[in-house]
Structure 1
Amino acid sequence: MTSLTFLGAAGTVTGSKFLIERDRQRILVDCGLFQGDARWRRRNWDPFPVDPASVSAVVLTHAHLDHCGYLPGLVRQGFTGPVICTPGTAEVASIVLRDAAHLQVEDAQHARAEGYSRHDPPLPLFDTADAERAIRLFAPSAGRVEVPGGATVDLHRAGHILGSAFAVLEFDSSRLLVSGDLGRQEHPLLLPPELPPAVDTILVEATYGDRRHQPLDHARLARLIRATTARGGVVLMPAFAIDRTAVLLHELTGLARDGLIPRLPVYVNSPCWQR
């Protein structure tokens, strides 16, 4: 008998963790941090519902923090199995986890200095050593992988960010598809999601399931940039760092190439680059 337990991304869009259990085998698909309101962030400190050492493997669909950011915490609590992901996810997630660990330690130090934590001393959820141990568990794969215990995992292109995939898990003759986050057909830098194979059960994201994405209004963006620079202003553009910044830079390059905006210096603020 196979069971599926939602350990995150239920009631909120963050903290994606899906525990699949069959006989004595446990596979965790995604291992994300809860983000947003304090009531969700506090859940990162809850004990993991099962012994992390009993988890056979973790499958990462992609490298966004809400899908991979709890991995160092899981390792800190005893997980030692393989982390199955695409080569692209392994590269991007390594950057993300190191940065997350740095911020965890920095936040704890700031809380200690300012005295606003209820804990004495305030501690990080995980540190750089935990992140490095997690990264060493990465098992990048471009094809079907056998998981300790007998199941197999096959990763297919999802078109969400670099390296993103949806996972097809097979237990004997039963096949489960976990979508992760899916990309759009018209992404300017990535190939579109692959067509899924035949499966028995699908677990699909639904963050944008009730709406249609509007296409980028190139003319409006160019008009706003021209109007701001004409009066000597600076255009400050907040962007969701992974993928969105690359798409925005691609768009700005195209607008400048086509003469729709003046050629201007573009500065990208990133904590990874600052260090």
Structure 2
Amino acid sequence: MTSLTFLGAAGTVTGSKFLVERGGHRILVDCGLFQGDARWRRRNWDPFPVNPASLSAVVLTHAHLDHCGYLPSLVREGFHGPVICTPGTAEVAAIVLRDAAHLQVEDALHAREGGYSRHDPPLPLFDAAAAERAIGLFRPSVGRLELPGDTTVTLYRAGHILGSAFAVLDQDGRRLLVSGDLGRQEHPLLLPPELPPAVETILVESTYGDRRHQPLDHARLARLISATAARGGVVLMPAFAIDRTAVLLHELTGLAHDRLIPRLPV
């Protein structure tokens, strides 16, 4: 008998962790940090609900911090199995975890210097050494892979960010699909998501499930940039470093090439 337990991304959209148990074997799909309000961030410090050493493997769908950022803490608490992911996710997640470790240490230092932490001394959730131990467990995979507990996992292209995938776990012919975050069909830089195989159960993200994505209004973006540049102003565009910034740079390059905006320093 197989059981599925939500250890994150329930009641909030971050901290994705899904525990699949069968025949005494435990597989964790995604291992993300809780982000956002303090009440959620504090959960990153809670003891993990099961013994991390009892996990046979972790499967990562992609490299965003809310899907991979708890890995260093999991390793520190005793996990030592393989972390299954695509080659692209292995490369991007290594960058993400090293950057997150740097920020954790920096934030703890600022809290100590500013005296605004309740802890003495304030500590990072994890440091660079913990991040490197987690990265050392990455096992980039393509195709069908055997896992403990008579389970196989296959990663299919999800089109969300570089290397992103949705995972299909097969146990005695019964299949569970975990979507991770899914991309759009018309992404300008990535291939669209692959068609999934037939499955019995689908666990699908719903972060934007209550709305429709609006198409990018190229003409409006060009008008706003051109009008601001004509006034001698600065256009500030907040964007996720992974994927969104690349898409914006691609768009700006195209607008400048088509002479819809002036050539500007970016």
TM-score by length of 2: 0.99
How many residues end up aligned between the 2 structures?
266
Deviations 1:218-258 (A, max 9, x none): 00100011111101111111111110000000000000000
Q: Distance in 1 between matches of 2:189 and 2:93?
A: 19
2:14 — aligned with what?
A: 14
Letter in 2 for 1:64: H
2:248 — aligned with what?
A: 248
User: How far does residue 173 in structure 1 lie from its aligned partner after superposition?
Assistant: 2.1
User: How far does residue 117 in structure 1 lie from its aligned partner after superposition?
Assistant: 1.1
1:106 — aligned with what?
A: 106
Deviates more, 1:42-51 or 1:112-121: 112-121
2:75 — aligned with what?
A: 75
Q: Distance in 1 between matches of 2:35 and 2:16?
A: 11
Q: Distance in 2 between matches of 1:108 and 1:62?
A: 27
5 Å matches for 1:30-45?
30-45=30-45
Tell me, which stretches of 5 or more residues in structure 1 are unaligned? 267-275
User: How far does residue 148 in structure 1 lie from its aligned partner after superposition?
Assistant: 2.9
2:174 — aligned with what?
A: 174
2:239 — aligned with what?
A: 239
User: How far does residue 118 in structure 1 lie from its aligned partner after superposition?
Assistant: 1.1
Q: Is 1:93 equivalent to 2:93 in the alignment?
A: yes
2:54 — aligned with what?
A: 54
2:3 — aligned with what?
A: 3
Q: Is 1:200 equivalent to 2:212 in the alignment?
A: no
Deviations 1:129-172 (A, max 9, x none): 01000000000011111113331110000000000000000112
Q: Distance in 1 between matches of 2:52 and 2:106?
A: 26
Letter in 1 for 2:210: D
Q: Which consecutive segments of 4 or more residues in structure 1 shift more than 6 A?
A: none
Deviations 1:163-219 (A, max 9, x none): 000000011221100000000000000000000001111101111122110000100
Q: Is 1:29 equivalent to 2:29 in the alignment?
A: yes
User: How far does residue 36 in structure 1 lie from its aligned partner after superposition?
Assistant: 0.3
Q: Distance in 1 between matches of 2:87 and 2:149?
A: 23
SS at match of 1:5: strand
Tell me, which stretches of 5 or more residues in structure 2 are unaligned? none
Q: Distance in 2 between matches of 1:235 and 1:117?
A: 35
2:263 — aligned with what?
A: 263
SS at match of 1:168: strand
Q: Distance in 1 between matches of 2:93 and 2:177?
A: 22
Q: Distance in 1 between matches of 2:124 and 2:171?
A: 37
- Identity across aligned pairs (percent)? 87
Q: Distance in 2 between matches of 1:226 and 1:88?
A: 36
Q: Distance in 2 between matches of 1:149 and 1:194?
A: 27
8 Å CA contact retained: 2:89, 2:164: yes
Q: Distance in 2 between matches of 1:209 and 1:117?
A: 37
Q: Distance in 2 between matches of 1:265 and 1:235?
A: 11
8 Å CA contact retained: 2:22, 2:149: no
Q: Distance in 2 between matches of 1:99 and 1:162?
A: 17
